[in-house]
Amino acid sequence: MSWSDKEPMISVRNVHKSFGDFEVLKGVSFDVMKGEVICIIGPSGSGKSTLIRCINALNDINEGSILVEGQEVNDPKLNKLELRKKVGMVFQQYNLFPHKTALENVMMAPIRVLKEDKKEVEARARALIKKVRLEGKENAYPGELSGGQQQRVAIARSLAMKPDVMLFDEVTAALDPETVGEVLITIKELAEEGMTCILVTHEMGFAREVADQVYFTDKGLIVEHGAPETFFENAKDPRTKQFLSQIL
Amino acid sequence: MSWSDKEPMISVRNVHKSFGDFEVLKGVSFDVMKGEVICIIGPSGSGKSTLIRCINALNDINEGSILVEGQEVNDPKLNKLELRKKVGMVFQQYNLFPHKTALENVMMAPIRVLKEDKKEVEARARALIKKVRLEGKENAYPGELSGGQQQRVAIARSLAMKPDVMLFDEVTAALDPETVGEVLITIKELAEEGMTCILVTHEMGFAREVADQVYFTDKGLIVEHGAPETFFENAKDPRTKQFLSQIL
Amino acid sequence: MDDLYEWFRDFYHTTGINLPFIYDSYDRDRMIDGFLTTVELSVICLFLSVVIGIIGAWLQGSAFTWTRRIVSGYIQLFRNTPPLVQLYFFYFAIGSALPRVETEWGGQAPMLSSFAWAVISLSFFAGAFNVEIFRSGIESVPKSTVEAAESLGFSRLQIYWDVTLPLALRVVLPSLNNNLVNLVKTTTLAYAIAVPEMLYVSAQIWSDNVNVPEMMIFLLIAYFVLVGILVWGMNRWERALKIPGFGS
Amino acid sequence: LAQADALDDIKAAGVIKVGVKADYKPYGFLDPSGAIIGLEPDLAQDVADRLGVKVEFVPVVSSNRMQFLEQGKIDLMIATMTDRPDRREVVLIPDPNYYSSGTNVLALKKFGLKSWEDLRGKPVCGIQGAFYNKKTGEEYGADIVAFKGTAEAYAALKQGSCVAFVYDDSAIVAKTKEPEFADYEMPLPTIDDAPWGLAVQLGQTAFADFMSKTIIDWHKTGKILELETKWGVPNTPFAKAMHDKYK
Amino acid sequence: MTQPPLSQPPSGKKTDMAVMLPFKQKSYERFRIELKPWHGVLLAMVCFFTTTYGYATTGPEVDSILTVMLRWIPLLLKGFLFNILISVLSMAVGTAVGTMLGLAQISLIGPVRHSSWFVTQFFRNAPWLVLLFFAMYLLPFEFNIGGITIPFPDWVKAIIGLSLPVMANVSEVVRGAVLSLPSGQWEAAESLAYTRRQTLWLIILPQCVKRMLPPWMNLYSILTMATVLAFIVGVPEVMTLTGRALAAEGERTDLLAPFYSFVLFLFFIYCYPIARWTVYLESKFAVKN
Ligand SMILES: Nc1ncnc2c1ncn2[C@@H]1O[C@H](COP(=O)(O)OP(=O)(O)OP(=O)(O)O)[C@@H](O)[C@H]1O
Ligand SMILES: Nc1ncnc2c1ncn2[C@@H]1O[C@H](COP(=O)(O)OP(=O)(O)OP(=O)(O)O)[C@@H](O)[C@H]1O
Ligand SMILES: [Mg+2]
Ligand SMILES: [Mg+2]
């Protein structure tokens, strides 16, 4: 394969996506280099979730191209399973498997999908659970965990697949400020370890602290982007300005 | 009735409330004068919602007393209907009636409960909908409104009963920053018009701008309170400090 | 018309496919009666069973323990015993214990005919299920919506009629649909107490003519049409009740 | 399927399956142990004895007895079936007939029924699958209300749901003798005095011949009369006539 | 680290309409407290005895109702055992075939999906009694495959006739349970690179079992009650035997009420515990999720 570290890890080029007559994405382009952390912010309904679902091939696209490590995601011949081994995703609603304990949730995919050795996976899974600071909750079922704890199990579950890229979709939207803090610390640590991350978030404070690039979407387009310092202080686009001014 | 404007509009005295064995409120006291706006902040589960539900007699209390305009809320002989004409409540989840249009939602209670004249109510309802800046959405069903719009219909619905006091329970928790802005402007206008308001909120920015008093609750007690300036800048209690430090 | 009948008679002689309910005037008349009886029985039972369901569900929420006990007892007794045996029991055991009335042919007949007993028995049978269906629908109306109504001062009956029931109805429509389809199918049981409905007439015809397969296929088609009409009607109703953003 | 010789099959199997009624006292009914007894089961037992095989009773009702025979579920049917030409198209009925009864009604004496026409427009109880239902309905205009079993029909009659119960006259005669039915009578002229036929599958001529001989023997020896007495039925004119004829 | 208790567990699906919260069926809590099993037994007994004595107008020369009942009860119980046997076997057959049919209904292959949908609807919408008639008249009494004769006695026909609607209903239960899982579960599994088959067997079906159990048991209870329809086929089940017993007792009309209430009673004591167990499972699973 011709892809090298020098090229973008993820390259989104002029992506269009419609649901029926309704065009959600109207030509979105951006690149993410290996180890970069980008945040996507924007009003509700602007297509943020749709965009990152396309990167993971959960939605297909109508036009344009998405390359992950040089591989076209929208290629019908693409082996989606291979793609998903490379790209991990954490959902806003966690989507843990409720019939499995925290540890089993984390271990299941590596064992069943990657066919890895059970012992090895278990060691890794326990390490991951420790990493997301959930020691002692290994045998708890999702129903017995608080929202923030579930969210962290979901992160560990994705990490167990050793992905190259992690996608986070508004992982903190439904949590109270304290729990938000816990989850964000976990993500920050990942970013510091050099994981390539794409985050959709409403937490401006977090975007400011951790992102290499901030993208602002509105009505299916990227309206403005930049490094957090310049983005938050000197937004040029009127729409962005208006949005940021609303934040108290 | 012996109550006069000089006395507290709402007087909460040593209120205790348990669910089974679990004591949610452990002796809460505070006063609200006519036209005052107070904000209650605090971590999840600290009993904020329970407290304001008690004021509206949606929950009964185990000990203490709650006076609204000098009337004991916890009196079993109390005419709840009379109380609820005086006290309006807006819920976090809006709780609109999904099978009624925005206008019908606003009109229903005055017509069915107060038995007011339909024409009159309609005129008032339209005025209220205008006040919350929703002209043109009169015939939309809740499902066709964005979260912020639904929240404003909920406010109009309460106002249509011409209450003396309004209770707001985390009315903005699930909204994106822009929509939060819209709702808060509406509440601010109400406050300026002299409505007595009690708000439970996570929006510190708003609390700072609009509140006459801020109360911080933790584990069923009011831990600290004060005017917003002093409260946010010079919190003394360690728990309050920790909570405030979490906010990014 | 007569030619058509003759054609079917010839059809029998040439092909051996015997459809006497088309060419034989006596069989034709009784089949038309049978069809009408089935329709009449179904429509009356559908209506009554829904009324029983609504009232029963309301009584289930009653404050009087004994009201609830009686409704529960009714439900359990009816849904845990075979409707066929219920029919027998009603018609033969209860029926002959009732006061008698003078008949036009000078006899003393029981007050209720077998048709009336079929109506009663099948309505109560399906009604027992409907009570539970409505009950679960009412449970699925969030407490918060009911509280919203409460906090606007609605009375208990007003809440049930204006808010709970309309919302519950929308939730339970699929299971209600299912139960009503079952009810239409169950009307065949009236055959056992000699209500001349379609199966009864068909059985008479096939014992006179030994043409079981033909009659059987006719019956299946006839019930398909009947059930189809019911399902079509329920779907139209469902669409008419549809409100935006509800049960996508 | 039919053309293998049933007699050989029966002998090879060592058992004959006979369709009889199980809800028609006294011709075929249950005893509390669940065994089927009655006049017709006794006849079936006699057939089995003659063949030197065991007998297996299969309970049938009017609405399914011919299908059972057609399908081969039973080898022989002795189930109160009226011998009618259209039935002879479907099953093979050996001659002579073994029994006979007519159609009549059981009704309250106080109604004073005189002729079949009196039934017009009135509800008349019946048994599902009986051939005279249609005739009573079509020719005399009665509203037939047919039940699955005789118990239900008698109950419906007694509770007043119908003006009369149309049924086999021999059973009605026996019924009017019971104290419970003291107020009832059999008021009409018997119609359709129709012989009963036992039946085998179409094409089983050897078996049918064997049965013909057996039936003649029953009449000759007075077995039918004897069984009537045993099961409490007054000796019927048909049985007496046949006995005289073949004696 | 303090863990603030969540006042509301996150529900599976995000909706703005609170009304669309998943069905929670805790409604039966009330039954559990107020209606004990013996209430039902009591009720049935009352039915039974009032009718028994209500008709105690028998003269001296006939047996009393109680004597008659005692004479026949052993046989009726045997018949009832037959009902249970039929219900168990039909349920087993119907469940096995119905599960396959239900999975076929969510197949990605169009023709498989459509034809299984049609079969399901066909047997779901036909009256049970008609299907039984069908099985009785249109099935041969024995099958001949390559010289081996497979007999189809009545009770087998009854089982076939009853397992057809059971199959169709199970098929719908399976399909409904699979579809009722939040789509997030499919997506989570997909994004973890599970194949469709793995997703179905490892993630979806294990979660469905819980959801399917209550409706499945409900179906069983309905099936059990439907076994009396086997009187059509002439199987010696309890209703058939009741009819014959009444005939053998000379059609005494005063016997109808006690006999039928006895049959009601038998079914009640068998089905009621099942219904209660179903309710218990329902509420148990509802809380867990
Ligand atoms: N399956 C679908 N069918 C039709 N429309 C859809 C579908 N999924 C999303 N949409 C629409 O596409 C638009 C973009 O949705 P998306 O979820 O990407 O928004 P978002 O930016 O993530 O918003 P939020 O901040 O509220 O999560 C919305 O208007 C939504 O209604
Ligand atoms: N009906 C109830 N039965 C039992 N416990 C309850 C009930 N309602 C609330 N609680 C408990 O009481 C505590 C306080 O709940 P409350 O809703 O008042 O918290 P809150 O401060 O409003 O939290 P949040 O910010 O999450 O809304 C919580 O721990 C909750 O679990
Ligand atoms: Mg989104
Ligand atoms: Mg709260």
Residue C222 has pLDDT above 60, yes or no: yes
Across the interface, whether the CB atoms of C152 and B157 are under 8 A apart is answered yes
Residue E20 has pLDDT above 70, yes or no: no
Residue B70 φ then ψ, to 5°: 80, 0
Length of chain D measured in residues: 247
Amino acid making up residue B54 = C
Interchain CB contact of C163 with B (< 8 Å): yes
Secondary element (H or E) of residue B197: strand B196-200
Q: Which of residues 129-148 of B touch C (CB under 8 A)?
A: 140-144
Length of chain A measured in residues: 248
Judge contact between A224 and B179, C-beta under 8 A. no
In terms of pLDDT, which residue wins out, D105 or C147? D105
Judge contact between E176 and E166, C-beta under 8 A. no
| Percentage of the residues of chain D whose pLDDT score is greater than 70 | 98
Measured CA to CA, the distance from residue B221 to residue B17 in angstroms comes to 11
State the smallest CA–CA distance between residue A109 and chain E in angstroms. 6
Interchain CB contact of C196 with D (< 8 Å): yes
Of the partner residues A56, A93, A176, the one whose CB lies closest to the CB of residue E10: A93
The chains in contact with chain C, meaning 3 or more Cβ pairs closer than 8 Å, are: B, D, E
Residue E25 has pLDDT above 60, yes or no: no
Residue E29 has pLDDT above 60, yes or no: no
Pocket of ligand 2 (CB under 6 A): A 176; B 19, 22, 24, 42, 44-50, 170; E 5, 7
Q: At what angle do helices E65-105 and E256-288 cross, to 10 degrees?
A: 40
Mean pLDDT of chain C: 84
State the smallest CA–CA distance between residue A84 and chain E in angstroms. 5
The chains in contact with chain A, meaning 3 or more Cβ pairs closer than 8 Å, are: B, E
Measured CA to CA, the distance from residue D22 to residue D20 in angstroms comes to 6
Judge contact between B203 and B209, C-beta under 8 A. no
State both tokens at D165: 């119960």
- Work out how many CB contacts closer than 8 A connect B with E: 22
**Cα four-point dihedral sign A71, A75, A79, A85:** positive
The chains in contact with chain B, meaning 3 or more Cβ pairs closer than 8 Å, are: A, C, E
Pocket test for ligand 2, best of B21, B50, B200 (most atoms within 8 A of CB): B50
Degrees, nearest 5: CA angle A212-A213-A215: 155
pTM of structure: 0.75
In terms of pLDDT, which residue wins out, C121 or B245? C121
User: pLDDT (tens digit, 9 = 90+) per residue, D181-202?
Assistant: 888 888 888 887 788 889 998 8
User: pLDDT (tens digit, 9 = 90+) per residue, E110-140?
Assistant: 899 999 999 998 888 888 888 888 887 777 7
Across the interface, whether the CB atoms of C139 and E16 are under 8 A apart is answered no
According to DSSP, the β-strands at A165-169 and A87-90 are: parallel
State the smallest CA–CA distance between residue B45 and chain E in angstroms. 6
Across the interface, whether the CB atoms of A202 and B176 are under 8 A apart is answered yes
Over chain B (248 residues), the average pLDDT of each successive run of 10 is: 78 91 90 91 83 89 91 83 85 82 92 90 93 87 81 89 89 71 82 89 80 90 89 84 74
Q: What is the chain C residue with the closest CA to E32? A: C72
Judge contact between C185 and C231, C-beta under 8 A. no
Across the interface, whether the CB atoms of E247 and D158 are under 8 A apart is answered no
Measured CA to CA, the distance from residue B67 to residue D121 in angstroms comes to 78
- CATH architecture of the domain with range E86-284: Orthogonal Bundle (1.10)
Q: Which of residues 36-55 of E touch C (CB under 8 A)?
A: 39-40, 43-44, 51, 54
Measured CA to CA, the distance from residue D246 to residue A68 in angstroms comes to 103
Instruction: Tell me which ligand sits closest to the C-alpha of residue B25.
Output: 2
Interchain CB contact of C220 with D (< 8 Å): no
Q: How many A from CA of A207 to the centre of ligand 1? A: 22
According to DSSP, the β-strands at A221-226 and A213-218 are: antiparallel
Interchain CB contact of E136 with D (< 8 Å): yes
| Nearest of A13, A63, A9 to residue A38 by alpha carbon | A9
State the smallest CA–CA distance between residue B227 and chain E in angstroms. 26
Residue E36 has pLDDT above 70, yes or no: no
Across the interface, whether the CB atoms of D61 and E140 are under 8 A apart is answered no
Determine which residue's CA is closest to atom 16 belonging to ligand 2.
B47
Question: Could you report the predicted ipTM of this complex, rounded to two decimals?
Answer: 0.70
Judge contact between C236 and C230, C-beta under 8 A. no
| Nearest of D201, D240, D247, D236 to residue D26 by alpha carbon | D236
Confidence of residue E31 (pLDDT cuts 50, 70, 90): very low
Q: Which residues of E touch B95 (CB under 8 A)?
A: 18
The pLDDT score that the predictor gives to residue B103 is 94
Measured CA to CA, the distance from residue B159 to residue B85 in angstroms comes to 10
Average pLDDT over residues D3-32: 84
Secondary element (H or E) of residue B63: strand B63-68
